[in-house]
Amino acid sequence: MNVYDTANKLAGEIKQSEEYLNYKMAKQALNLNTKLKEKLEEFEKARYEVQLEMMQTGKNNEEKYKKMQDLYAELIENEEAKRFFEAETKFNIIIADVNKIIGEAIRDVI
């Protein structure tokens, strides 16, 4: 089997995984709730701004960080949003683990 076949097989297995399917369903459910989707997008934007500022300056902007925390606290009160965050986290763990495995396999050449 060549590396492309293996990569395609892995992609297929990821798409069949419980974590992927749960994340996809949670995302679809969230997209049906316009207000919740907008609130999540606002949170994602705030999180991005906090991360970007941290990378650029090495410091947290307390005002932006507080806004992000408040948005998260508000979202997590909603069961649908809570399910989404849990599914997203579990899916991201799988992807990070796969990336780590691949990275370790090629560490000696990079």
Largest CA distance in the chain: 53
Q: pLDDT per residue over 49-76, tens digit each?
A: 999 998 998 888 899 999 999 999 999 9
| 75 touches 67 (CB < 8 A) | no
Domains of the chain: 3-96 (1.20.1500.10)
- pLDDT number for residue 61: 87
Q: Which residue matches tokens 């892995």?
A: 10
Residue spans of beta strands (DSSP E) within the chain:
none
pTM of the predicted model, to two decimals?
A: 0.85
Whole-angstrom Cα distance, residue 105 to residue 99?
Answer: 10
Whole-angstrom Cα distance, residue 89 to residue 85?
Answer: 6
